């Protein structure tokens, strides 16, 4: 039984091995027929003391080198391979750019917390606590957007930046520039070579800065093959659709292969962040990029070597007169 890490790329070619015993039988039959033939001589006296030398006895069997050579060629045609099985890229982590809304409305109560900002920061810090191999970057936005941290695995430092995000960026114009927030997040991921690259956008409002429309940013993400996950944060006492353009958030996300989710409470927001990372890892697990190593060249070399040896012996040591 072959090990799980070994396989034939074209196993149908192995059927040709059944032809080799037939070829060997035909050769033996031909050899017997040749042996029965003779040369008519007037007397055998001159040959009475002649003895068959080793070279003469081995000469007919040089052709047998073709059988293992053909066997090796057939095995090469079947493309034997070793497989790097079980190595999924999920252990390499994913690259995540978080775009967090820090506009004035985020100070309002919501998600069963004193403020939506408090709930968002707590959820994001909890999300960072659960990370292991993922690189995470942070963008904040109001009427403008600013990159607070590049992609990093220094989660402790990033948690401090999350805590200070609102206080450290008071100089940004008021408003809700969702399109700019997405664009800055995409810039963090543009040069990333991770198998999975995602933007997680958390906002409580509707885009009101037209410098970059969210749909335009979504098209750029789609072209870059970066998924966007959008999270709606409703204000306490209001229905989400009164303060959020949910249809727009859903279109942007689903257009890139992501999704839109509305948070219901503080724990729900934390669960959304974690479920997004889990979903991305499961996507990678399903996309198993198995690597095969071809072994055929290791068989072709000895096969050609046997054929060359037969030709060399026939032209030198076992050469016969016409």
pLDDT of 132 strictly over 70: yes
**What CA–CA distance (Å, rounded) separates 185 from 216?**
14
Between these two residues, 282 and 124, which has the higher pLDDT value?
124
If you write DSSP's letter for every residue of 130-154 in order, what string do you get? Answer: T-SS-EEEEEEESSSEEEEEEEES-
Is the CB of residue 207 less than 8 Å from the CB of residue 245?
Answer: yes
Reported confidence tier of residue 44, pLDDT bands at 50, 70, 90 = low
**What CA–CA distance (Å, rounded) separates 241 from 101?**
17
Determine the length of the chain: 322
Q: Which two tokens stand for residue 96?
A: 């995540």
pLDDT of 237 strictly over 50: yes
**What CA–CA distance (Å, rounded) separates 30 from 24?**
10
Span 210-230, pLDDT tens digits: 888 999 999 999 999 999 999
Express as a percent the part of the chain with pLDDT over 70: 77
- The region of weakest confidence among 61-70, 93-102, 135-144, 256-265 is 61-70
| CATH number, domain 89-286 | 3.40.50.410
Span 2-38, pLDDT tens digits: 555 778 888 888 888 888 888 777 777 776 666 555 5
> Which residues, 6 or more positions from 162, have their beta carbon under 8 angstroms from its beta carbon?
100, 121, 124, 125, 128, 138
Q: Please report where in the chains the tokens 């499961």 appear, as a residue.
A: 282
Q: Which two tokens stand for residue 53?
A: 């030398």
60-63 contacts: CB < 8 A, separation 24 or more?
Answer: 60/31, 60/34, 62/310, 62/313, 62/314, 62/318, 63/27, 63/310
Q: What is the pLDDT of residue 88?
A: 43
**What CA–CA distance (Å, rounded) separates 111 from 59?**
92
Is the CB of residue 54 less than 8 Å from the CB of residue 94?
Answer: no
**What CA–CA distance (Å, rounded) separates 242 from 292?**
54
* CA separation, residue 273 to residues 131, 231, 248, 277, 290 (Å): 11, 9, 20, 7, 29
Q: Which two tokens stand for residue 37?
A: 């033939």
Q: What is the pLDDT of residue 85?
A: 53
Report which of 185, 174, 189, 257 is spatially closest to residue 214, judged by C-alpha positions. 185
Per-domain residue ranges of the chain: 6-39+50-86+291-315, 89-286
Reported confidence tier of residue 98, pLDDT bands at 50, 70, 90 = very high
Is the CB of residue 10 less than 8 Å from the CB of residue 87?
Answer: no
Residues of the chain by 3-state class (helix, strand, coil), percent to 5? 50, 15, 30
Task: State pTM to two decimals.
Answer: 0.61
Q: Please report where in the chains the tokens 């997405």 appear, as a residue.
A: 182
Q: Which two tokens stand for residue 132?
A: 């292991």
Q: Which phi and psi (to 5°) does residue 128 adopt? A: -65, -35
Q: Which H helix or E strand runs over 50?
A: none
């Amino acid at each position: 039984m072959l090990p799980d890490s070994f396989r034939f790329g074209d196993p149908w070619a192995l059927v040709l091995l059944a032809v080799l015993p037939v070829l060997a039988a035909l050769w033996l039959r031909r050899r017997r027929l040749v042996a029965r033939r003779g040369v008519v001589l007037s007397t055998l006296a001159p040959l009475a003391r002649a003895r068959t030398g080793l070279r003469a006895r081995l000469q007919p069997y040089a052709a047998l080198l073709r059988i293992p050579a053909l066997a090796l060629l057939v095995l090469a045609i079947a493309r034997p391979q070793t497989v790097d099985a079980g190595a999924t890229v999920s252990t390499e982590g994913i690259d995540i750019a978080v775009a967090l809304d820090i506009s004035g409305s985020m100070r309002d109560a919501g998600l069963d917390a004193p403020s939506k900002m408090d709930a968002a920061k707590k959820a994001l810090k909890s999300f960072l606590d659960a990370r292991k191999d993922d690189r995470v970057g942070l963008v904040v936005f109001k009427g403008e957007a600013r990159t607070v941290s590049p992609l990093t695995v220094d989660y402790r430092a990033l948690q401090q930046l999350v805590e200070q995000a609102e206080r450290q960026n008071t100089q940004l114009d008021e408003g809700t520039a969702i399109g700019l927030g997405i664009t800055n997040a995409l810039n963090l991921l543009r040069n990333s070579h991770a198998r999975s690259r995602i933007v997680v956008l958390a906002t409580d409002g509707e885009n009101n800065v037209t410098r970059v429309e969210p749909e335009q940013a979504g098209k750029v993400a789609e072209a870059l093959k970066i998924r966007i996950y959008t999270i709606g944060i409703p204000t306490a006492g209001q229905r989400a659709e009164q303060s959020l353009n949910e249809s727009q958030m859903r279109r942007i996300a689903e257009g890139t292969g992501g999704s839109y989710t509305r948070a219901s409470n503080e724990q729900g927001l934390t669960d959304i962040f974690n479920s997004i990372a889990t979903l991305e890892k499961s996507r990678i697990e399903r996309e198993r990029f198995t690597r095969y190593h071809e072994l055929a060249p290791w068989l072709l070399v000895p096969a050609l070597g046997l054929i060359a040896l037969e030709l060399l012996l026939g032209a030198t040591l076992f050469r016969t007169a016409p």
